[in-house]
Structure 1
Amino acid sequence: MAYLVAEAGLSPQKILSMTFTNKAAREMVQRAETLLGDVVERSGTIPRHWIGTFHANCARMLRTHARLLHYTPNFTITDMDDRLKIIKELIALHGYRHLDKTGRVKEEISHAKNNFLDAEDLARMAAAKGDPAYLELSELYRAYNSYLLKNNTMDFDDLIVNMVKLLYLDEEVRSFWQQRFDYIMVDEFQDTNKSQYLLLKMLMRPGGVNLTMVGDDDQSIYAFRGANVENILRFERDFPSARMIVLGINYRSTPAIIEAAYHLIGHNKERHTKDVKAHNPEGELITYFDSLDAREEAELIAAEIFENRISRQVPYHDQAVLCRTNTQMRTFEEVFREKSIPYKLIGGYSFFDRKEIKDVLSYLKLIHNPSDNLSFLRTINFPKRGIGPKTMEDVMKAAVAHNLSFFDAV
């Protein structure tokens, strides 16, 4: 990117850079600004760059064309917690008897959107399976999308799905965005799902866009989130003129770790073969042990940490324990407390999931989008105003009867 701007004279507005996390996007911006010192010095920043996550870039595009999808440009974005509340409310409202696990239903809806499936697709699948739960899921999916549209809000999956729909259905929109970018760059390509892959293909201007994907099929670990490793495996088939460049030097790990990792992943038949060497010198061998239960595992690791501290003079703050899930941390906390080993827990309860923060955000959402009924319900009695369930029921009935938002009905 820096080369294209500084050496080739390309405008940053003509380069679309996609990644998966806000942290990665911020790092990309910082690195680009460091490399583009002269450009940044003249303008203060990279002028109107398009560096961001898939969701952020799509949200930015969608606000330009929101009315084509019957949204307003100030649509809000529903978070995970609110999605669960909407689904729970709809299950109760429609009396679905086969959909009892709200979290699982949310995952199924997200999976459908990640694979670019609509309610009709799910209905056909339900008919083929003869599964009443799947039929209810297809009906709930339709009701859920209608709820979001009526409340002028989208969930995170919609940001990509709706942009793909616009590009597919509206030739003028498709032409606008295809002409906008000359270069498209994607980081962590192995983590893309079907909807994201379709988005990239729809943004490609026939014969006129340079597409660069950076990824490693051996690092595809997010299938449970909808990632499809087949996207990177078939890339050369979909783009025959593509050239693959293998980065064969690993600058992070030791030879022992590289050898063990590739010996293990080598059993995977669906992958690109690579010859990767470590730049670092030989390090310690990997120690492996098999514990009987979580308690024994935590005690063994605690003993190792203590031994490192006493015998090898390794400070506690230079030692880390990585857990696959947050629930595993509790056993480690118990053992560390018992053995007086100081620790700092990272990745626990999110600041933005706290009730008081969500309440404040709901006020801001309601100010921005008065049609957001979910934010209205969250704020109407915070702080307490003496508005009871019967009053709220009357407000909701009046809103439905007159096709108003709850806010307007009040």
Structure 2
Amino acid sequence: MALNQAQQAAARASVREPLKIIAGAGVGKTETLAARYVEIVRGGLPPERIVLLTFTEDAAAEMRARVMLRLRDSEVLLPPHALLQPWIATFHGFAMRLLREHGFEVGLPPTPRLLNDDEQQELWQTIRAAVEAAAELPGGYTPLDHTTYRWDTDEAWHKVMSVLAALRRGGGTTRELAPHPQLAAQQTTTFAAHRAQLVPLIEHCFGCYTTQLHSRGVLDYDELLQAALCLLQVQPTLLDRFDVVMVDEFQDTNRPQLELLQQLQPTLQQTTVVGDPRQAIYGWNSARAESIYEFPFRANDGKRGATQDLTENYRSHPAIVQLANWALRGSELGALPPLVPAQERQRDRSAALENEPVVSLHLLPTIADEAALIAAEIVKLHQRGLDYNQQAVLLRSRTQLPTLTETLRQAGVPYTINGGTGFYLHWAVRLTASLLRLVADPTAAAAWAHLLESPLIGLSPTIMTTHDGAASPSQPRSFT
């Protein structure tokens, strides 16, 4: 793919100062980053000294493929081993690779393992049951008074879990509980009166959880980044391996990811970030879209680095681009350079769409009504000559998927699912896997927990007994 003028400027910008690329939707940022990677290699830096970080495995795989293709076409001469394992990965993939190579230096096993979803759920159930059992003992630990708190057990536990999740995603510690924004936001009259009880409970559960991770020799995704940070602090010579760092989707970085970036590039002098605050989708993961505005955070020798805007949209019909620009008008995001439809997107549409609006809005009362309308529109356009494989449906949440797929099936519309929950993550498949695991190993606690909570049995976590002794945390391992 030939680069346009703005993409070329971004790809060829100096590597000796921070570069910020504001890349709107559909502007070819992946191709631009791949081209910049190749330009840096062409300038004499070996691929093993370049780190390129993104957010999903699919994005990392696509980036590796684009880089390899451009390197091949560039005819840059490299030794055979140079591209065997480029440092092009997600933040978590990069951290795991570092820990597999050097994790023994921070007390991890040679092959650290990530906690899977079932194991994590079983672990939290163990901790919850142990805490509640301790509360029933004479003089036992009583973090919550359910009567005065006016919550049932599940609601109180949900509050604890929501704060813990936000704390761990943000790279926080229990020392930060007092000023934590989620706690502050929940300061109702009743809550404020009993906050002194809730904070110790969260501290206790935090300690139990990290202790159990340590005893099982596993990491969760949050602990993974903290362990990598700890490793780089213990062995700063590892930083000598990397000269240039590039980060995709920078608007979605959270505090641990930013700390990892600044550990790799303390001055940010040879750092490239690509992002667009209009596409920030990881607020639930403690990401701060403001980071893209603030980069490079502080001036080194008075310079703020360079900024390059990519605005030419190759993906969408001009009317869609215009609508997106209009929707942001008057907001802070509207101050960004507007998207411009690429010239090749000005072509005529399919004859099947000749009398159809480019954008239309339908307000419907239920998800079932939405699915029925979508199925009817797909059938109508197919009858006019538009193939099924030229039509797509985007969903905001995977919870809508069963209703839509069943409606499409009833309408005789063939479909494939991209993204969302894959076949092996479907609840029925996972339940079958748990049953098979129990046949092979009747002592598998995670499989038992999954089975007992499933629709087959339907036990509540509050009445599931455990035997893990998680209510007595010793000094937990900490990477913070």
* TM norm structure 2: 0.68
Cα separation, partners in 2 of 1:114 and 1:395, compared to 1, 3 Å: closer
Structure 1 distance, partners of 2:179, 2:215, is: 25
- The corresponding residue for 2:323 is 260
Identity of aligned residues (%): 27
- The corresponding residue for 1:339 is 411
Equivalent residues of 2:112, 2:218 under 8 A apart = yes
1:49-77 per-position Cα deviation (integer Å, ceiling 9, x unaligned): 21111001111112344344332232211
- The corresponding residue for 2:176 is 121
User: What is the identity, as a one-letter code, of the residue corresponding to 1:114?
Assistant: R
Alignment equivalent of 1:328, drawn from 382, 400, 405: 400
1:111-133 per-position Cα deviation (integer Å, ceiling 9, x unaligned): 21222211232266579955233
Structure 1 distance, partners of 2:100, 2:417, is: 38
Runs of 5+ in structure 1 lacking a partner?
367-374, 382-392, 401-410
User: What is the identity, as a one-letter code, of the residue corresponding to 2:127?
Assistant: L
User: What is the identity, as a one-letter code, of the residue corresponding to 1:269?
Assistant: E
- The corresponding residue for 1:309 is 382
Alpha-carbon shift at residue 179 of structure 1 (Å): 1.8
Equivalent residues of 1:233, 1:271 under 8 A apart = no
Equivalent residues of 2:51, 2:244 under 8 A apart = yes
Alignment equivalent of 1:139, drawn from 204, 215, 233: 204
Alignment equivalent of 2:307, drawn from 228, 241, 244: 244
Alpha-carbon shift at residue 358 of structure 1 (Å): 6.8
Equivalent residues of 2:251, 2:292 under 8 A apart = yes
- The corresponding residue for 1:2 is 38
1:29 correspondence with 2:92: no
Structure 2 distance, partners of 1:296, 1:15, is: 50
1:176-209 per-position Cα deviation (integer Å, ceiling 9, x unaligned): 23322110011111111111011111211448x5
Alignment equivalent of 1:288, drawn from 361, 376, 380: 361
Structure 1 distance, partners of 2:277, 2:230, is: 28
Number of equivalenced pairs: 371
Runs of 5+ in structure 2 lacking a partner?
1-36, 133-142, 147-152, 350-356, 450-464, 473-480
Equivalent residues of 1:84, 1:103 under 8 A apart = no
User: What is the identity, as a one-letter code, of the residue corresponding to 1:110?
Assistant: A
1:229-251 per-position Cα deviation (integer Å, ceiling 9, x unaligned): 12112114435432110012111
Equivalent residues of 1:148, 1:154 under 8 A apart = yes
- RMSD over aligned Cα atoms: 3.5
User: What is the identity, as a one-letter code, of the residue corresponding to 1:60?
Assistant: R
* TM norm structure 1: 0.79
Bigger Cα displacement from structure 2, 288-297 vs 327-336: 327-336
Pairs within 5 Å for 1:97-116: 100=154, 107-116=162-171
- The corresponding residue for 1:60 is 97
Pairs within 5 Å for 1:7-406: 7-37=42-72, 38=75, 43=80, 46-95=83-132, 100=154, 107-122=162-177, 125=180, 130-131=194-195, 132-168=197-233, 170=234, 173=235, 175-206=236-267, 209-239=269-299, 240-269=303-332, 273-279=336-342, 280-281=345-346, 285-310=358-383, 312-346=384-418, 347-351=420-424, 354-355=430-431, 377-378=445-446
Alpha-carbon shift at residue 360 of structure 1 (Å): 9.0
Structure 1 distance, partners of 2:264, 2:81, is: 29
1:302-339 per-position Cα deviation (integer Å, ceiling 9, x unaligned): 221121111x2112232222221222123323433443
Alpha-carbon shift at residue 164 of structure 1 (Å): 2.4
Equivalent residues of 2:123, 2:209 under 8 A apart = yes
User: What is the identity, as a one-letter code, of the residue corresponding to 1:304?
Assistant: E
Work out which structure has the larger RCO, using CA pairs closer than 8 Å and 6 or more positions apart in sequence.
2
1:44-101 per-position Cα deviation (integer Å, ceiling 9, x unaligned): 7714321111001111112344344332232211022321111111111122657636
Secondary structure in structure 1 of the residue aligned to 2:371: helix
Structure 2 distance, partners of 1:192, 1:377, is: 34
Alpha-carbon shift at residue 30 of structure 1 (Å): 1.3
